[in-house]
Copies of this chain bind each other. A is one copy, B any other.
Amino acid sequence: ALTGNVNIFYYAAMEEVTGAQLIAEALKTQNVEFMFGIVGVPIIEVAMAAQAAGIKYVGMRNEQAVEACRLYSKFSARPGSLEAIPSVVEKAVRTSMYGRPGACYVDISGDMVNAKVNRIVSCCPPPPVSLADNTAITEAISVLKGAKRPLVIIGKGAAYGRAESALRALVEVSGLPFIPTPMGKGVLPDNHPNCVAAARSRALLQADVVLLLGARLNWILHFGLPPRFDPHVKVIQVDLCAEEMGNNVRPAVALLGDVNAVVTQLLESVRKDGWKYPFNTEWWSALKEKIAANAKISKALALQSAVPMNYYTVFHHISQLLPGDCVIVSEGANTMDIGRTMLNNSLPRHRLDAGTFGTMGVGLGFAIAAASVEKSQNTGRRVVCVEGDSAFGFSGMEVETMCRYNLPVIIIVVNNNGIYSGVDPETWKEMAKMGDLTTIAPPVTLLPEARYDEVMTAFGGRGFLVRTVEELRSALKLSLSDWERPSLLNVLIDPASDRKQQEFPWLTRSNL
C-alpha cells in the first residue's frame, strides 16, 4: 500500500484559510487518503481542512524524518504562487510513484493568501510500464540455461512492481531457487519450496548466475562482491532504473524495464523454450543440506528453555503464533537481522524494515501508518512491530498515538538492556556503587530491565512483562485477541545473547 510518500511541509500565519483548503483539495484530488503530521499553530488549519475534505488526519508526536526527506527526495519544490499548488502537488505525487518510488517534498510558504485558483489539475494516472529489449531477454534465457548454480534474488523493486503472480509462475516453471532481500520478503512466501533463504550465505557465495530482480547491489547484498559472492558470477540485472545498471557489478545481461513486465517476458520465453532447471542437481542438494543444517542449529537454540531467553527462542515462538497475513515492521540491530531469518512473510509488501539507510526511529511511525490503512480498509490484518530496546527509544512516545486512535498494533520489544548488548541488573548495581556511571558504564548499556511495557500502559494500552516462553506465548495470544487496543510485550532476554556464529558477519551500514 505504501509505494511512495509526499511530505507537505507547511509554514504559515493563522489567517490563511484559502491556502489550507487549497492544499487539502489538491491532496484529495491526488487520492491521498491519510495525512500524518505534528500539529503546531500553522498546521492546524491544514489538518482541519484536510479532515473537511475527507482526508484522515493522524497527529504524531515527533516527525524526525522530515529533514531527511527533504535531503533525499526525488523532487522538491516551493510553489511560487497559490495557483501553482495543485500542479506542484500533482507533480510531487506523480513523481513519487513513477519510475523508482521515493519521497517528494513540497515546501509551502504562508504568504499565499486569498488568491483564486484558475487551473484544475486532475489525479495522475498509474505509472507507465516499459519492457526489456527482446534480444536481451533471449540472452538472459541463454545465460540462465547455461547456469550450474543459478539463484534468483527478489528485491523490493519486485514488491513495488507487484510482480508476485508472474514471479511465482516463473520460479515454479523454471524450478529456480530464490532468496528475498529484507523488503522483498513475501513477494513469494518464505515457506515456498524453492526458497533457500535459510542457506542465504551459501547461496550467494556459490551461485554462478544470479537473476537480480529489482534489488540493489548495496551493503544489504554485500555489493555483489567477493568474499561474499563468486568473483565470476554472472548477473542478469532486472531494474526499471537505467542508472542502477552496473552499480558495483557489471551485469552479464541488463534487462531494463518494469519488473513485472520483464518477469512476464522471461516467463513467456521459458515457457516457449520448455526449459526447466532440474531438481536433482548437486546445487539443489547442497542448498537443501545447508538449509537442514542451519535449521538444526536454529532449532536447538530455539528450543533452549533457559531463563533469560535467547533471541532464537523468542523469535521461534513469535513465528509460530503470528497470523500469516500480518504486516511485520522491524528495526534494531540483532533484532532486525535475526527477525529477517526467523519471521516468515507470505504476502508481498507486508514487511517494512528500517531500510536502506538503517535509520532508527522510523518503526513506530511505519506501524501507525500501516495500522491506520488496515483499520480504515477493515482488512482484518494485524500490524506487528518488532523492535530492539534501543530502537524503541527513538520514538517510543508514539505509543500514545496508537492509544489515542485505538490502533491495535502489537509492539514486541526484544530487550537486552542495551545497544548490541547490555548488562544484567546485578552487575549494573555493582557498577553504580563503584562511582559515577558516566565514567564507568559502558556506552552501550541502557537501564537494565527497563519497563517499556509500562510506557504502553501509561496511555491505556496493554503491557506485558515477559521473561519465559509461557509468558511470551500467553501475552502474544492475548494481544492478538484484542482488536481495540495496542499491546507492548517487553521481552527480557539474556543481555549476552547474540546471533549464532556467522560464516560472514552481516554487513551493517557502519562497516561501509
Contact = CB atoms under 8 A, between A and B. Distances in A.
A446 to B, nearest CB: 6
Interface string A420-458: 100000000000100011111111111100111111011
A44 B508 CA distance: 15
B261 A133 contact: yes
A443 B42 CA distance: 12
B400 A130 contact: no
A99 interface: yes
A438 B58 contact: yes
Contact of A393 (B61, B256, B441): B61
Contact of A447 (B42, B91, B122, B404): B404
A437 B128 contact: no
Interface string A499-512: 00000000010111
Interface string A389-401: 0101111110010
A445 B400 CA distance: 12
Contacts of A248: 87
A169 interface: no
A370 B439 CA distance: 17
Interface in A117-140: 122, 124-125, 127-134, 136
Interface stretch (A194-202, A235-243, A310-318, A339-347): A235-243
A206 interface: no
Interface in A362-418: 372, 376, 390, 392-397, 400, 403-406
A41 interface: yes
A72 interface: no
A51 interface: yes
A80 B107 CA distance: 14
A62 B133 contact: no
A94 interface: yes
A75 B247 CA distance: 13
Nearest to A134: B131
- Protomer copies: 4
B404 A14 contact: no
Contacts of A240: 130, 242
B443 A247 contact: no
Contacts of A243: 74-75, 94-95, 98-99
Contacts of A74: 243
A459 B446 CA distance: 11
A108 interface: no
Contacts of A255: 128
A63 to B, nearest CB: 9
A275 interface: no
A397 B400 contact: no
A279 interface: no
A98 B440 CA distance: 33
A437 B406 contact: yes
A439 B393 contact: no
Given A48-B442, A443-B39, A443-B48, A256 B128 contact: yes
Nearest to A389: B400
A132 B133 contact: no
Contacts of A282: none
A338 interface: no
Contacts of A54: 439
B136 A129 contact: yes
B443 A57 contact: yes
A27 interface: no
Contacts of A256: 128-130
Contacts of A482: none
A40 interface: yes
Nearest to A81: B111
Interface in A74-103: 74-75, 80-81, 87, 91, 94-95, 98-99
A64 B394 CA distance: 9
12 contacts: A39-B443, A87-B248, A128-B242, A129-B136, A130-B133, A372-B438, A400-B450, A404-B437, A404-B447, A454-B454, A454-B455, A455-B458
Interface of A: 11-14, 34, 37, 39-44, 47-48, 51, 54, 56-59, 61-62, 64, 67-68, 74-75, 80-81, 87, 91, 94-95, 98-99, 109, 111, 122, 124-125, 127-134, 136, 240-243, 245-248, 250, 254-258, 261, 361, 372, 376, 390, 392-397, 400, 403-406, 419-420, 432, 436-447, 450-455, 457-460, 508, 510-512
In the A-B complex, the 3 residue pairs with the closest CB atoms: A454-B458, A47-B443, A99-B242
